[in-house]
Amino acid sequence: MQLVTPGLVLREVKVGESDRILTILTPEHGVLSCTAKGSLRLKSKLFSACGLFCYSEFTLFAGRTLYTVDDAQVKNVFHGLANRLDAMALAMYMAEVTLMLSPSGKEGETLLRLMLNSLYLLSEKKALPRKIKAIYELRAVSEAGFMPNLLCCRECGKYQGGPFCFDLTASDLLCEDCAAKQGLAPNLDEAALTALRHIILVEDRRVFGYTIPPESQRLLNAVAEQYACRQLDKTPKTLEFLQTVLE
């Protein structure tokens, strides 16, 4: 069976002298594992299009356990990633988060769009890495079925005003007073809470379009990372190194 699909290479593993095993995120078939024979040869027609974080049009043939890449044409290469350690580290982290979420079927479409937009902004230096990281964590886990309840304080119904606690266990909000009654401390100021709601609730094209003070972004970053790791049930292996290189 032949399959023609766009896809983003999230992982590549060298096999032998010239072959690669690719893990590709596609919009309609989710994550696919493929063998790209001879793709490490410089003269191979697959060399450029099968590289890590290449977005390409793939022609695949189904095998017993893996697809085989018969042809691949480059659609986009995010050249700016290779020039900065923090950018490549963040890209590797986002790829691991995506693979841990294991999107299948058309679930891949939303995560692919989010990943492509994130890589573009990261590669072109159009947004700070920490902002991209927080957005990706929150949006990716929400789209995968772990959307928190951000309407209001679950106890008293307060919507805004003053600091709030995002309860990582219950995936909802508590105002400062209600949090104190439960032995919890606020972890979001007003700006961070507004940004959190924006990231989770707006349409895709607007998700990166917010601005908050650095301290509010720091609070949001902490909540986003903790929430993502909790929903993934474990800490991604790439996170520790990423934390050492992010500014």
Q: Which of 113, 109, 105 is nearest to 27 (CA)?
A: 109
Q: How far, CA to CA in Å, does 115 sit from each of 63, 90, 163, 173, 214?
A: 27, 11, 31, 27, 24
Centroid of chain to Cα 152: 26
Contact present, 228 and 242 (Cβ < 8 Å): no
pLDDT at 236: 97
Would you state the pLDDT for residue 63?
A: 86
pLDDT of residue 3: 94
Q: Which residue has the tokens 């099968």?
A: 50
Domain 80-148+183-245 sits in which CATH superfamily? Recombination protein O, C-terminal domain (1.20.1440.120)
Superfamily of domain 2-77: Nucleic acid-binding proteins (2.40.50.140)
- Predicted pLDDT at 107: 85
Q: Could you tell me which residues come within 8 angstroms of residue 91 by beta carbon, excluding any fewer than 6 positions away? A: 53, 78, 81, 119, 122
pLDDT along the chain (247 residues), means of 10: 95 94 96 95 92 97 92 96 96 98 88 97 97 98 95 97 96 98 97 98 95 97 97 96 92
Residue ranges of domains in the chain = 2-77, 80-148+183-245
> In this structure, are strands 67-77 and 30-36 parallel, antiparallel, or unpaired?
parallel
Q: Which pLDDT score is estimated for 1? A: 83
DSSP 58-113: EEEEE-SSSEEEEEEEEEEE-GGGGG-HHHHHHHHHHHHHHHHH---TTHHHHHHH
